[in-house]
């Protein structure tokens, strides 16, 4: 409880600086490029276009899912992946990236993953507006199921901010851990149902195991809003599993903070 109190207190005390640094992180990411902020959209558009072409005209033969064209089925889960993948890799490296805040300014370490998450969330919100626009212009107008989007977004933010705190502390102590995270991120992408429908898995045991993956839960949740039209409480078992995984992740983050916080400035 003492660790929780410390972290919450640091966030309250430094709240204005957290917002400023989140904005600065966005600016820093795209500054110096001729297209500037446009790169936040160019990368997703290129990747979505490539995967859509490969799966529509190659691997899948253009088969629709739940009556939706594959491109529309793919977009919600794929857009959520951009935030999650950034938090997996850049979140894990955020303390090393901003080590000057720790070594020179004595900035509270626990807040660095938070403003990193807020920075990536801002880009995610812009991309989600584009997703909504695409669905509307293709004749799929908002309905009550879209009201779940903030819930799944909150689940995503909570887990991956906790992950970033845990992973960034370990990565600050050992660059090998950061390299390991970067190495397995691509595997997580292909194993999490971003590009394929996990509901078509015939084995109940494998489906059950898949639900312990928070990436799968969030990507499927986004598709529940746009495609499957399912309320989150109708899948109470999946929600319960996600909550358990989230609690475990928070406990790990608190443990890492308590054990490593005093050593981080010296290591960096």
pLDDT tens column, 73-103: 989 999 999 999 999 999 999 999 988 888 8
Task: Report the percentage of the chain scoring pLDDT > 90.
Answer: 52
51-60 pLDDT, tens digit per residue, is 777 777 766 5
> Contact, 95 vs 169, CB < 8 A?
yes
- Residue with more model confidence, 48 or 194: 194
The pLDDT assigned to 3 comes to 82
Q: Assess whether pLDDT exceeds 60 at residue 159.
A: yes
Whether the per-residue pLDDT at 203 is higher than 90: the answer is: no
Give the per-residue pLDDT at 120. 92
Query: Per-residue pLDDT averaged across 227-237, rounded?
Result: 93
pTM for this model (two decimals) = 0.91
Q: Of 100, 102, 121, whose CA–CA distance to 40 is shortest?
A: 121
User: Across residues 185-208, what is the average pLDDT?
Assistant: 88
Residue 194 predicted with pLDDT over 80: yes
Mean predicted confidence (pLDDT) in 21-40: 71
**Residue 30's pLDDT band (cuts 50, 70, 90):** low
More confident position, 105 or 208: 208
Mean pLDDT of 175-204: 89
End-to-end CA distance of the chain: give it in Å, rounded.
27
Mean pLDDT, residues 15-28? 86
Determine the average pLDDT of the residues in 167-181: 92
- Provide the pLDDT for residue 114: 94
CA atoms within 13 A on the CB side of 259: 12
Which own/partner pairs from 93-99 qualify as long-range (CB within 8 Å, at least 24 positions apart)?
A: 93/168, 93/171, 93/178, 94/164, 94/168, 95/168, 95/169, 95/171, 95/172, 95/264, 95/268, 96/168, 96/171, 96/172, 96/175, 96/178, 96/268, 99/172, 99/268
pLDDT of residue 232: 94
Which pLDDT belongs to residue 80? 94
Closest CA to 76 of 26, 25, 160, 145: 145
Mean per-residue pLDDT of the chain: 88
């Amino acid at each position: 409880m003492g660790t929780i109190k410390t972290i919450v207190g640091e966030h309250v005390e430094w709240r204005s600086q957290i917002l400023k640094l989140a904005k600065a992180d966005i600016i820093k990411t795209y500054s110096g490029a001729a297209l500037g902020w446009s790169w936040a959209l160019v990368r997703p558009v290129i990747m979505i276009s490539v995967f859509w072409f490969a799966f529509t005209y190659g691997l899948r033969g253009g088969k629709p899912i739940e009556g939706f064209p594959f491109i529309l089925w793919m977009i919600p889960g794929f857009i959520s992946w951009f935030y999650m993948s950034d938090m997996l890799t850049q979140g894990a490296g955020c303390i090393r990236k901003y080590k000057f805040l720790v070594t020179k300014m004595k900035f509270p370490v626990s807040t660095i993953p938070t403003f990193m998450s807020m920075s990536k969330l801002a880009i995610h919100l812009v991309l989600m507006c584009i997703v909504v626009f695409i669905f509307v212009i293709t004749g799929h107008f908002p309905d009550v199921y879209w009201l779940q989007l903030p819930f799944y977004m909150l689940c995503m933010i909570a887990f991956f901010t906790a992950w970033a705190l845990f992973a960034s502390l370990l990565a600050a102590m050992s660059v090998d851990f950061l390299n390991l995270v970067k190495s397995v991120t691509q595997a997580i992408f292909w194993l999490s149902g971003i590009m394929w429908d996990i509901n078509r898995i015939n084995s109940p045991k494998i489906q059950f195991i898949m639900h312990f993956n928070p990436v799968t839960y969030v990507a499927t949740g986004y598709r529940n809003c746009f495609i499957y039209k399912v309320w989150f409480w109708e899948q109470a078992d999946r929600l319960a599993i996600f909550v358990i995984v989230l609690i475990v992740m928070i406990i790990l983050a608190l443990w890492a903070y308590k054990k490593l916080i005093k050593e981080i400035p010296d290591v960096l």
